[in-house]
Amino acid sequence: MAIDLDLCTGCGDCALACAQENNMPVFEDDSDLPKRVQFLDLMKVSNDRDAAYPDVEVCYIPKMCQQCEGNDPKNPKPPCVSVCPVVATDVGDDGIVSQIWSRCIGCRYCQASCPYEARAFNWWKPRYEGDFKKSLNPDVSVASRGTVVKCQFCSHIWKRERDRAVAGGELDINAVTYTPACVAACPTRAMVFGDLDDPGSELSRLLSREKKRTFRLIHTIDEMKEKDEKKWKAMMQAKNYPNPKVYYLTSKAWIKEMMKFK
């Protein structure tokens, strides 16, 4: 997935569509953090807290699970998978990190090990306000209390689209395309979703075209590639190197600076 931060207006449609699609309650007052369970966080960042009007710049960063790969693509081991004692989280054949809530024992090791705080813990049974319960998505099971949940790039939509493709006679599973709820909801088309392994996909072409603007949330390590390739390779071999699959695009230098691991 690629997210163009220059196009993002911070409207929050992605977060809302995600909550609606994945049966997570939406509250009018979202300030109660433990109660809130969200896969997609819309972070507001500013270049300088104390800056006055003409110099202040604001950017919104949609942050979800980065579907890390780890340092070995053949045997993907993201930081959260290697710590799970009950194999509730695993990397699928499509590269998406799955989280099965019925297997989860709620130890929250994965939440602690996630460098992006992309995982959420269900402290309580979800409580739906108003008419929300009538519009629940039958494809997504509601996770029980005491389990960890996370974004899976709407893998239920992928399964649904796979069914539709097979019914239409298409048996090649790599030809199946789908759009996650957040990408479908984005009004400015700032989010692009596709197959990173396929060089012909819209996503791969965008990333190869916009190499200068692209960064990931492990910017310090990626940056080392140009400076010192030997050191970069050593850093990549470090244990728990996340190697995320979500790319951000921006033309502003201060955002890149801010997103570095410091």
Site residues, other proteins (CB under 8 A) = 87-88, 90-94, 96, 98, 100-103, 139-142, 152, 155-156, 159-160, 162-168, 171
CA 204 → CA 2, 6, 126, 173, 230, distances in Å? 9, 19, 37, 19, 26
Q: Which residues of 230-248 are buried (b: 16+ CB within 10 A; e: fewer)?
A: eebeebbeeeebbbbbbbb
Q: What minimum distance in Å lies between the beta carbon of 109 and other proteins?
A: 17
What's the rounded Cα separation, in Å, for the pair 110 and 97?
12
Q: What minimum distance in Å lies between the beta carbon of 92 and other proteins?
A: 4
Cβ closest to other proteins, residue 96 vs residue 118 = 96
Q: What minimum distance in Å lies between the beta carbon of 142 and other proteins?
A: 8
Contacts 24+ apart (CB under 8 A), 237-240: 237/71, 238/71, 240/70, 240/79, 240/82, 240/113, 240/115
Cβ closest to other proteins, residue 54 vs residue 85 = 85
Q: What minimum distance in Å lies between the beta carbon of 159 and other proteins?
A: 5
Cβ closest to other proteins, residue 91 vs residue 255 = 91
Cβ closest to other proteins, residue 33 vs residue 171 = 171
- 48: alpha, beta or left, given left = phi > 0 and alpha = psi -120 to 50? beta
